[in-house]
Structure 1
Amino acid sequence: MNKRETGRPFSGSTLKWLAILLMLADHVGASILEIFVLNGYGNSSLAGMIEHMEFWWSIDRILRYIGRSAFPIFCFLLVEGAVHTHDIGKYARRLLVFALVSELPFDLALRNHFPWWAHQNVFCTLALGLLAIQIFRKSAGREWRGVAALGAAAILAEVCNTDYGATGVLVITVMYLLRENRIAALAVSYVLLAVGGRIELYALPGFLALLLYNGKRGHQPKYFFYWFYPVHLLALWGLGNFVLPYVIGKI
């Protein structure tokens, strides 16, 4: 998975940009349309203020289908980062810090309520997946420890109801364990996601994009991709909670 391959157009940076755009589309549907417009979780329900509700539900479905491809790309890049980092402990701490930073924006954007203990953001899933990877790395000859760590991380993901839950942790671990055979890693991961939820069938374009990865890191602004997650969620909450009621009320 981490070998450089000529003739393939996507660097790690390109994949990250693609993933955040896909994620943004997904969250526009999940936050702006589902929470603030169609289901009326905002301070004032907008559901009765707009026409052609079926049309907007269709737009929401399209955005959510598009967004399915973001998660496998993030998982793949997490594995790449774990393999190449000089300090995996620092990497894990960074994920945990941004999991905490992102929880308020995540709750506000996707429920318009804080705290919302019923669901935790994707940084939690990524951190648990990285933990399982690290135990496997340190368990040569004692693979049972890695399996036990994977089981514990998967259970914790389900108990905390993190994004993608146990399936997400398993996908990350499979991508790591099968990293020397990218096609096998992506095929098994796709099946796992599809079994975990029918909507994840629409993640196929993301997996196909990973086949175009050339093994190069590319230019990556430091911490930009980390900060994008909480900042864009907070922006969507502000748009849905304060701007949309005013705009729709004026139409």
Structure 2
Amino acid sequence: MNEIAIPNKTAAARSGFTSYSLKVLALLLMTLDHIYYYLGGGILPVPHIFTLLGRISAPLFLFAMAEGFSHTHDRKAYLKRLYIASVLMSVGNGLVNAFLPHPGGAMVINGMFATLFLVGLYIWAIELLIEGGKERKWKKAGAAFVMLLVPVFSGIAVILFMGNMAELSPVGRIAFQAMYTLIPSPVFVEGSVFWVVLGIGFYFLRNKKIRLSVFYVLMSGFFFFSAAGAGLTYENLFILNDQWFMILSLPFILLYNGQRGRKMKYFFYVYYPLHVYLLVILARIVA
């Protein structure tokens, strides 16, 4: 028996967070974080609490994505949207960095679409691998291995390219950029391997509140104790190494009521890159 039952519609309407409301909360906190990143640092007096609250947003997006992926009727279309969005934003980031550089030197490297895409791809691959093994369908298991390994090999290739950047020809540099953009790697996506593992964990522990909570506390604790190892100081824990603040996402996740709520299928795809680029332009105006 699952450790948590999905509430009925009447109860869900009265209490808890829907997937929609979790995404809206994550959007708001993400925006605060980006305001601090792009407008703080001497451009405007943005309080540091903005970026601390921003640590809550990524886990909420990952949780909502895992829930959405478990209910979607068309996984290919779901991943296709995330993949196209990741490629377009990677190109957009490059254009902004080249032609509208941030006055404080901040680089636009936001790429949560690629992270979410990899989470979905790996969830699907893991399930295919398990099914292929149980059913002794080795073609299915082989396809799963390809899905798992291609992003890893892409990351290795990117690392090799980066180690020889000075020697690369113009064609080699184009190949490097194409590899980086078109084949997301768990090493180089936003949040790196950690976010990918977190998203996969959310999926396979869904509807199991206790196990999910233990998993999440351990993941958050990894950051806290890594930071604490460098000294229990305010600067170290709250400024230099503040990712452990993501632990504050857990209450919102536990209050998820199992309902989707209102649709926002394309809003995030537009809002995410648009608000980042507008903040860069605003920084250039007020700097």
* TM-score range for the pair, normalised by the shorter chain length: 0.7 to 0.9
Deviations, residues 50-86 of structure 1 (Å, cap 9, x unaligned):
8xxxxx47x2x31111000001110111111111001
Q: Work out whether 1:91 is the aligned partner of 2:81.
A: no
Pick aligned residue for 2:209 from 175, 182, 186: 182
Q: Work out whether 1:234 is the aligned partner of 2:277.
A: yes
The residue number in structure 2 matching 1:220 is 263
The residue number in structure 2 matching 1:170 is 197
Query: Matches of 1:120 and 1:239 in 2, distance apart?
Result: 17
Q: 1:167 to 1:87 in 2, by over 3 A?
A: same
AA matched with 1:237: V
Deviation at 1:97, TM superposition (A): 1.1
TM-score, normalising length: structure 2? 0.66
Q: 1:8 to 1:152 in 2, by over 3 A?
A: farther
The residue number in structure 2 matching 1:157 is 186
Deviations, residues 22-77 of structure 1 (Å, cap 9, x unaligned):
1000111111114xxx3xxxxxxx5xxx8xxxxx47x2x31111000001110111
Query: Matches of 1:203 and 1:9 in 2, distance apart?
Result: 20
Q: Work out whether 1:12 is the aligned partner of 2:19.
A: yes
Q: Work out whether 1:127 is the aligned partner of 2:117.
A: yes
AA matched with 2:281: G
Task: Give 1:17-166 correspondences, 5 Å limit.
Answer: 17-34=24-41, 38=42, 56=45, 59=47, 61-106=48-93, 108=96, 112=101, 119=109, 121-141=111-131, 142=133, 153=151, 156-158=185-187, 161-166=188-193
Q: Look up the SS of the partner of 1:86 in the other structure.
A: coil
Moved more, 68-77 or 94-103: 94-103
Moved more, 144-153 or 231-240: 144-153
Deviations, residues 142-176 of structure 1 (Å, cap 9, x unaligned):
39977996676576221xx2211000111011111
Percent sequence identity over aligned pairs: 25
Q: Work out whether 1:203 is the aligned partner of 2:219.
A: no
Query: Matches of 1:89 and 1:126 in 2, distance apart?
Result: 13
Contact 1:14 1:218 in 2 (8 A): yes
AA matched with 2:202: M
The higher radius of gyration belongs to 2
Contact 1:105 1:233 in 2 (8 A): no
Query: Matches of 1:151 and 1:211 in 2, distance apart?
Result: 33
Query: Matches of 1:24 and 1:174 in 2, distance apart?
Result: 25
Q: 1:231 to 1:222 in 2, by over 3 A?
A: same
Query: Matches of 1:120 and 1:18 in 2, distance apart?
Result: 18
Deviations, residues 159-205 of structure 1 (Å, cap 9, x unaligned):
xx221100011101111121231332243134224425742221122
Question: Structure 1: any 5+ residue segments left out of the alignment?
Answer: 39-45, 51-55, 246-251
Q: 1:167 to 1:151 in 2, by over 3 A?
A: farther
Deviations, residues 110-157 of structure 1 (Å, cap 9, x unaligned):
x937xx999461111111111100112222353997799667657622
Aligned residues: 219
Q: Look up the SS of the partner of 2:281 in the other structure.
A: helix
Contact 1:129 1:153 in 2 (8 A): no
Deviation at 1:92, TM superposition (A): 0.5
Deviation at 1:3, TM superposition (A): 5.3
Question: Structure 2: any 5+ residue segments left out of the alignment?
Answer: 135-140, 156-184, 227-240
The residue number in structure 1 matching 2:164 is none
